[in-house]
Structure 1
Amino acid sequence: MSIPVIKEYADEFQNETAELILAIQQHEYQVAITKEEQPDLLNIKEFYQAGNGNFWVAVYEREVVGTISLLDIGSQQLALRKMFVKKEFRGPIFQTASLLLNTALKWAKDKSISAIFLGTAPQFKAAHRFYEKNGFISIKLEQLPASFPVLQVDKKFCTYLV
């Protein structure tokens, strides 16, 4: 059995990327959010692949099965966004989440980033454990940089010192 390949985002992945993210948000976690409420999904290159930011997809047999992005928020800091893995590709067999996160962390280190911040919804318990296991520490909303784009669903915040 092979593992997913992590690739830098290209426009050829646009539809699959948006469909994967929306399916997980809407159907798995019942987050009432639409594609129209996430204009970044329609403009990934311009939104995420600017400055020190980037966006990656995990591809398994030509199917997008995971995503992760780093949004440049200035001052050598990044926001981790859009980390989603298709249910069947979570866990130790495929290691999709670890492959994605390790790619993003290496990118940040290579870019001399000082810190990565993230916000997540309370119901993403497995994600909370995953981030903590990988060196992220919980912080309060007030500890985020002013440039961090807090989303309405974000209630738990973490940082990773690169």
Structure 2
Amino acid sequence: MISIIPFEQQFQDQLVSLILNIQQLEFNVPITAEDQPDLFIIDDFYRKDGGEFWVAVSEGKVVGSIAVIKIGNNAGVIRKMFVRKEFRGKEWGIAQRLFDSLILYCHANAIDAVYLGTIDRLQAAIRFYEKNGFSTIEKRALPTDFPIMSVDNVFCKLSIQQG
């Protein structure tokens, strides 16, 4: 059974390992742990202003993650959406469950729009976002307080209906 739960400190090492393995080994993204200090300060970076960070856990192992940073104007930024290769696909539904948890959180916390940045080579991720209602936008259309990652070259927005 796979549980989607808020990040807990006991999962720190597994989380970093999951993300770096996917970024570096699977997709050859030239990024290191040092380039992502937010991974080591989840509470201060993601939660302090009203965001959240979730992990998907199977038998005590982290197999997925997603986070939202709350920024100004009732907006949020999706970060760190990753699912271990063996746990991807509709039969598992982990990516969708992680995303649905984030959207429920947005409804409960008056986040009306979410933005994200990704990399053009992550085509499956981009299709997932499009399937879930995201539109591709120009970089210049991002909110001024959007925290841009240097490797990102595709940007998306989803308006969330409140109510």
Task: Give the TM-score normalised by the residue count of structure 2.
Answer: 0.96
* 8 Å contact kept, 2:4–2:57: yes
Query: C-alpha separation between the residues in 1 aligned to 2:43 and 2:50?
Result: 12
Is 1:21 paired with 2:19?
A: yes
For 1:66 and 1:134, the matched residues in 2 are separated by 18
Corresponding residue for residue 138 of structure 1: 136
Residue correspondence of structure 1 range 39-118 to structure 2 within 5 A = 39-118=37-116
Superposed displacement of residue 91, structure 1? 0.4
Partners of 2:103 and 2:4 lie apart in 1 by 13
**Deviation at residue 74 of structure 1 after TM alignment:** 1.8
1:160 paired to 2:158: yes
Question: Partners in 2 of 1:116 and 1:37 — Cα distance?
Answer: 23
What stretches of structure 2 of length at least 5 have no aligned partner?
none
> Aligned to 1:103, what secondary structure does the other structure show?
helix
Q: Is the 8 A contact 2:70 2:111 kept in 1?
A: no
The CA deviation at 1:52 is 2.1
- The CA RMSD over aligned residues, in Å, is 0.8
CA–CA separation in structure 2 for the residues paired with 1:102 and 1:50: 22
5+ long unaligned stretches in structure 1: none
Q: For residue 77 of structure 1, report the CA deviation from its aligned partner.
A: 0.7
Q: Percent identity?
A: 44
Paired residue total: 160
- Counterpart of 2:129, as a letter, is Y
* Aligned AA (1:37): D
